[in-house]
Amino acid sequence: MLYLSALYRYPLKSAKAEPLQQISLDKLGLDGDRRWMLVDEASGRFLTQRAEPGMSQLTALWNATGGLTLSAVGRASLDVPLPGADEALRGVTIWRDSLRVPDAGDEAAAWVSEFIGKPTRLVQVPVARARTTEAGYGRDDDKVGFADGYPLLLIGQASLEDLSGRVGRSLEMLRFRPNLVIEGSGAFAEDSWKRIRIGDVEFRVVKPCSRCILTTIDPQTGERDASREPLATLQKYRAQEGGAMFGQNLVNDGNGVLEVGMPVTVLE
C-alpha cells in the first residue's frame, strides 16, 4: 500500500524544514510553504543556500497570524508580522521572474542582514501576487509562491534508499527538500505517475525535479560535501536533458487537508 510517510513545510525559502503531521492546502501548495524569502537589498535578487549555505541553520516558523518567527543559534528570536498584501512593495527577482511583493520592514531586515552578513531584506508573497509556473508544464492558471518552479515536491522513500545504496551511506531526505514523502512504492516509481490522490485532494505530476549543488549541503551542519555527493552519483545514473533528476514536481487541483499516514492512490 502506498501512503504519505512525511510532510515538510519550508516557510522561508532555503531555511530549515518544518516537519508536519497535518496541513491544509491552498492555491500555492501547502499552506505557508515558501511564502517568505530573503533578497539582496541592492539588487532584489533572491538568496538561497546555493550562495549562502549558512541559511541551512536558519529556523523560520510560520505562526498562527501568518507571520514568521526567525531564530538561529546564538541569536534572539524575532516575530515578524505578516505585512499587508499591497504595502511596502519591493521589486524582487527569483530566477527569470520579476515581481513586486510586500517587504517585512526594517526590524526584520536588520535581523536577517546580521545573520547573512550583508544588507538583506525579508519579503513575503500573498496568493494574489504569486508567479505563474513554468510555461509548457501544467496549466496557464497554475501558480507558485517562492518555490523554485512548482508548488510541491514529492519523493519516494525507496528512491532515496536506492541513491543511498549507490553513494555508500545513508542520506538525509531533507537534502532534497521534499514536501511529500511516499512509502510503499518501488524506487523511482513516481517517475511514471501522472495523477495521484491523497485523501480528498488530487495532484498532477507535472515535471521531474532537476537537482543542484544544494543537495551536497548537510542539512544538520550546513557544510558542503567535498566529494560533491550525492549530486555526483545522481549525475551518473539520473541524468536527463535539463539535469540530474530526483523527485517529481506536483500541482494540487483544489484545496483540502493532508495528514501523515494517508493512503496514496495512483490515478494515472
Domains and CATH numbers, the chain: 3-29+133-266 (2.40.33.20), 34-131 (no CATH)
> Residue 233: which H helix or E strand, with range?
helix 231-237
- Mean pLDDT, range 232-253, rounded to an integer: 94
32 grid coordinates = 505557508
pLDDT of residue 196: 98
CA distance 40 to 135: 27
> Is 178 in contact with 154 (CB distance < 8 Å)?
yes
Asked whether residue 66 carries a pLDDT value surpassing 90, the answer given is no
Q: Is the dihedral of CA 81, 86, 91, 94 positive or negative?
A: positive
Q: Which of 53-62, 79-88, 212-221 has the lowest mean pLDDT?
A: 212-221
Helix %, strand %, coil % of the chain (to 5): 20, 40, 40
Q: b/e for 48-68, b at 16 or more Cβ within 10 A?
A: bbeebbebbbbbbbbeeeebb
Query: pLDDT exceeding 70 applies to what percent of the chain?
Result: 99
Residue 144 has a CB neighbour count (10 Å cut-off) of: 25
The SS3 assignment for 143 reads: strand
Segment 157-175 shows an average pLDDT of 96
Give the three-state DSSP class for 214: helix
Q: Is the model's pLDDT at 230 over the cut of 90?
A: yes
As a whole number, mean pLDDT of residues 117-135 equals 93
In this model, does residue 137 exceed pLDDT 90? no
85 pLDDT band, cuts 50/70/90, is confident
User: For the residues 198-207, what does the mean pLDDT come to?
Assistant: 96
Q: Quick one: residue 9, left, alpha or beta (phi over 0 = left, psi -120 to 50 = alpha)?
A: beta
Share of the chain above pLDDT 90, in %: 86
Give me the pLDDT at residue 108, please.
Answer: 98
Question: For the residues 13-28, what does the mean pLDDT come to?
Answer: 96
Q: What is the CA radius of gyration of the chain?
A: 18
Rounded Cα distance, 129 and 121, in Å: 18
Alpha-carbon separation of residue 10 from 13, 15, 200, 225, 228 (angstroms): 6, 7, 23, 22, 24
